[in-house]
Chain A
Amino acid sequence: MSHDDHHAVVVPAPGPEFVPHEVAHHFSTPVQEFQSGKLGFWLFLATEILLFGGLFAAYFYFHEVYPETFRVGGQQLDWRLGALNTSVLLLSSWTMAMGVRSAQTSQKSKTLMFLGLTVLGAAIFMVIKFFEYKAKNEHGLIVFSELFRPFIENPDGTGSLAWFQDYHGVMAGVPHGHMFFAIYLTMTAIHGLHVVIGAGLIIWIMFGTAKGRFHAGYFMPVDLVGLYWHLVDLIWIFLFPLLYLVP
């Protein structure tokens, strides 16, 4: 048994439709490679939890300060669309889990099918989100074209936000109506960005799957993208009741 460092460790392909996996040269075994990759990804997901955690802290703080603003603000969102999107994400989380499982068991066509369904779920989610944003834009609750305009000082000394016009005055009776929509937009837009990135990663993984790169001996990329997708679902599980059913 030679211990020649220059010889790559190779995980053989489980069938003709797969390709062997060459373990990266700085790892000794496929299991070490897998566990290192996974630990790194869990660390990244921990930072994601803290990123969204700060936004949730802001939500809870201002919800406590302006409970009426949040109650009335939440009523401007359609909970049915929120519940539909929750179900879409939960279903796509399930198809993702099944996709990872199919990769772990070297079922290439099933992996492709489940990953494709997950991307479909991501697309449906973003289409619904687009129509929700469109309605908010039409009601002047989030004027998207004015999002990056600075705070405007009125001649009478008061200030106003260009992106919050509230054409129908639905938030007129509560203090700082813009607070709810600022938090709603920040949280759902960063979450939506994760949905788009996640869908892109899944499509990338589908190319690798089609080439036969992922099988029982090597499925780490599928597993890690799966974890990312489940995190997206995890965040939405909290966003849905907090934003659409403001308690």
Chain B
Amino acid sequence: MSDTATATDAHDAHGHGELEMGHIHVSSAAMFFKVLVALLFLTFITVAVSRFDFGSMNMLIAMAIACVKASLVIAFFMHVKWDTAINKIVFLGSFLFLALLFVFTLADLLTRRLDHEMHTIKSPVDKEWVQPKPQADGNH
């Protein structure tokens, strides 16, 4: 006879007694709606705080709110909160490698002189790129 898998797991079936996929978590519709309201509210906050000038803090504030929104999407909409450990490691681990990229990019930026010299970064539309400026101290 053939194997017939029903994958029924009564423990986690949230009121849906029929066929449940093993230990899969089915979130309640009310929770999804609360997450949506929170995300829309945080979008409003994002626009509102951008109206004020906090100097360099504006970037940190905007990114902090975006990170909270992203966490809500990842944890609830993407079900990562209830996902297996290996899936959590794979996806959240990608942000670790992203942090590595950002840290070394930032290290480059902070060890440069942040003054007018920055504008001499070679760009195809720089005049210097086509016609190198003569050296100020003459010949070498």
Would A14 and B35 be within 8 Å (CB), given that A23-B5, A50-B97, A57-B102 are in contact?
no
* A74: min CB distance to chain B, Å: 10
Max chain B C-beta neighbours (<10 A), residue from A8, A38, A65, A247: A247
> Which of A123-131, A139-147, A191-199, A214-222 lies at the binding interface?
A214-222
Name the CB-closest residue of A to B17.
A216
Check B130 against A12 for contact (C-beta < 8 Å).
no
Check A86 against B90 for contact (C-beta < 8 Å).
no
Which residues of chain A come closer than 8 Å to B58, judged between CB atoms? 247
Q: How far is the CA of A227 from the CA of B97 in the complex (A)?
A: 20
Q: Give residues of chain B (70-95) contacting chain A, Cβ–Cβ below 8 Å.
A: 70, 73-74, 76-78, 83-84, 86-87, 90-91, 93-95
- How many chain B residues have a CB neighbour from A under 8 Å? 71
* A202: min CB distance to chain B, Å: 15
Q: How far is the CA of A5 from the CA of B21 in the complex (A)?
A: 22
Check B98 against A90 for contact (C-beta < 8 Å).
no
Check B4 against A93 for contact (C-beta < 8 Å).
no
Number of contact residues on A: which range applies? 35 or more
Check B129 against A30 for contact (C-beta < 8 Å).
no
Q: How far is the CA of A14 from the CA of B105 in the complex (A)?
A: 53
Which of B18, B19, B50, B114 sits near A247, CB closer than 8 Å?
A: B50
Which residues of chain B come closer than 8 Å to A56, judged between CB atoms? 102
Which residues of chain A come closer than 8 Å to B63, judged between CB atoms? 238, 241, 247
Would A14 and B19 be within 8 Å (CB), given that A39-B86, A94-B32, A245-B47 are in contact?
yes
User: How many A-B contacts if CB must be within 8 Å?
Assistant: 202
A29 at interface (Cβ–Cβ under 8 A)?
Answer: yes
Check A216 against B18 for contact (C-beta < 8 Å).
yes
Q: How far is the CA of A216 from the CA of B2 in the complex (A)?
A: 21
Which residues of chain A come closer than 8 Å to B87, judged between CB atoms? 38-39, 42
Chain A, residues 42-75, CB within 8 Å of chain B (1/0): the string is 1101110110011011001100111000000000
Check B43 against A53 for contact (C-beta < 8 Å).
no
Check A9 against B90 for contact (C-beta < 8 Å).
no
Q: How far is the CA of A87 from the CA of B84 in the complex (A)?
A: 30
Would A83 and B5 be within 8 Å (CB), given that A49-B94, A57-B102, A216-B19 are in contact?
no
Which residues of chain B come closer than 8 Å to A230, judged between CB atoms? 73-74, 77-78
Which residues of chain B come closer than 8 Å to A29, judged between CB atoms? 5, 7
Would A241 and B26 be within 8 Å (CB), given that A60-B105, A83-B47 are in contact?
no
* A128: min CB distance to chain B, Å: 15
Q: How far is the CA of A222 from the CA of B56 in the complex (A)?
A: 42
* B130: min CB distance to chain A, Å: 5
Check B109 against A237 for contact (C-beta < 8 Å).
no
Check A61 against B105 for contact (C-beta < 8 Å).
yes
* A111: min CB distance to chain B, Å: 13
Would A242 and B74 be within 8 Å (CB), given that A57-B102, A94-B33, A157-B127 are in contact?
no
Which residues of chain A come closer than 8 Å to B10, judged between CB atoms? none
18 A–B contacts from the bound complex (CB under 8 Å)? A8-B2, A38-B83, A42-B87, A45-B91, A49-B91, A49-B95, A90-B36, A94-B32, A97-B76, A98-B29, A153-B130, A157-B130, A216-B18, A216-B20, A237-B69, A240-B43, A245-B46, A247-B63
Given A87-B43, A179-B123, A241-B65, output 10 extra A-B contacts at Cβ < 8 Å.
A7-B3, A12-B6, A30-B21, A42-B87, A90-B40, A157-B131, A159-B129, A216-B19, A238-B66, A241-B66
